[in-house]
Amino acid sequence: MAGCVRKETISRNKPRFGQRWLAEGFKPNGLRCLALIHLRERPEVCGRPTMRVWPRSSLWRIQAKIETAFLSQAALALKLYYVCGMSDLTILDMNWVGRPHSIAAALLVSGGHYAIIDPGPESTYATLREHLHSRGLSAAQLDAVLLTHIHLDHAGASGSLVRDNPRLAVYVHNLGAPHMIDPSRLLASAARLWPDTLHQLFGETLPVPKENLRILEGDETLTLGTRKLEVAYTPGHASHHVSYFDAAEDIAFVGDTTGIRIDNGPYILPATPPPDISLEIWENSFAAILARRPSRLFLTHFGYASNPAEHIDEFRRRLHHWAELAAEVLKSSSDEAQAKQGFVARAQAEMQEQIGAEEADHHAFTAGLDLSFLGLARYLRKRAEAEATV
């Protein structure tokens, strides 16, 4: 970060056509950020102290605003080449089991405050530390971990982080908190779902002491340095799922609430593992996200998704389609194992048709197609039981 920060005095003596000059912008959220501007015309205006950058904005917005401001202010043909400095929001690729672009954590820096949204499983904790190290940070410097939910692929590294940094605050929904303090039930049910590969996939999940937890219900506003994050309760994928909204960045960190979409790609698929799936409750969470009108979604699997309204429409369509597919194969199969095979084969084939075999395999692995079937089967069974008792 420090290596990026350079300053050059702007003076009337120095500029000439093609002169590049640096103007120190500001300290967005405690970080220095410089803009490199190439003056193409009217070099005599170089002495103007016009550099201004907008705090708590994402880099692209800073760029756009500088350009607009300069151009409209003096009708200058100024071109912004780049904005240098560490972004205050960084995607960290956890490279889960050697697969890039499957699990993403977000590093948020604001006013000297360091937070991570969903640090990932314990099996990728070494990767997380490497990411921090490459930015001149360590686990000991983090202030907060914000969990969207407690599933191992999102929250598993939390206990290790607290072991290495006992002052760390771990934000989690009320319903998930007991399983962070004592993960034994969570691990037992995970062991049933991944009987042979639990450790390889998720590593050694450590408990988080109660005093490190900050309990959320939804509707809180968190202050992290100079950044404010709104919390919304967004169940559907899990009963204890929350999403975080950063109004300054215009981003919603939605965990698994709006499914899986790798790098804003063409295919959006649900992750519907047992035991909490509910399509009805999920609908309220879509509304909660859309009501805040974010311009982008940040998905744990994987990265930014643009146009949240279109994304959620497509996700909803696929979610309901998969629920129908699960009901169909359950009806036509002799038992649940056969139904699971049928569901996975049909879902894989649909994906392959749209994105090819290699990408379909990556999507299926990241989502856990067989788990998605088990979650949908359980949801359908519970719904049928509830209807029978009415």
What is the contact surface with Zn ion in residues (CB under 5 A)? 153, 256
Least distance between Zn ion and beta carbon 237 (Å): 8
Q: Among candidates 181, 189, 193, which has minimal Cα distance to 155?
A: 181
- Angle at 319 (CA atoms; ends 261, 148), nearest 5 degrees: 55
Least distance between Zn ion and beta carbon 379 (Å): 17
How many Å apart are CA 173 and CA 158, to the nearest integer?
A: 14
Least distance between Zn ion and beta carbon 233 (Å): 18
Nearest CB to Zn ion, comparing residues 10 and 374: 374
The two three-digit tokens of residue 11, written as one number: 């003076």
Contact 86, 109 (CB under 8 A): yes
Least distance between Zn ion and beta carbon 154 (Å): 5
The overall longest dimension of the chain from CA atoms, in Å, is: 85
Least distance between Zn ion and beta carbon 345 (Å): 23
Nearest CB to Zn ion, comparing residues 249 and 256: 256
Contact 120, 105 (CB under 8 A): yes
Starting at the earlier edge strand, list the strands of the sheet with 213-216: 89-93, 104-110, 113-117, 144-146, 169-173, 213-216
Nearest CB to Zn ion, comparing residues 109 and 190: 190
Nearest CB to Zn ion, comparing residues 93 and 153: 153
Element (H, E) at 187: helix 184-193
* Beta-carbon contacts of residue 309 (< 8 Å; ≥ 6 apart): 290
Q: How far is CA 162 from CA 142, 170, 337, in A?
A: 10, 8, 40
Nearest CB to Zn ion, comparing residues 104 and 326: 104
Nearest CB to Zn ion, comparing residues 83 and 103: 103
Contact 147, 118 (CB under 8 A): yes
* Beta-carbon contacts of residue 311 (< 8 Å; ≥ 6 apart): 258, 261, 268, 297, 305
Nearest CB to Zn ion, comparing residues 88 and 153: 153
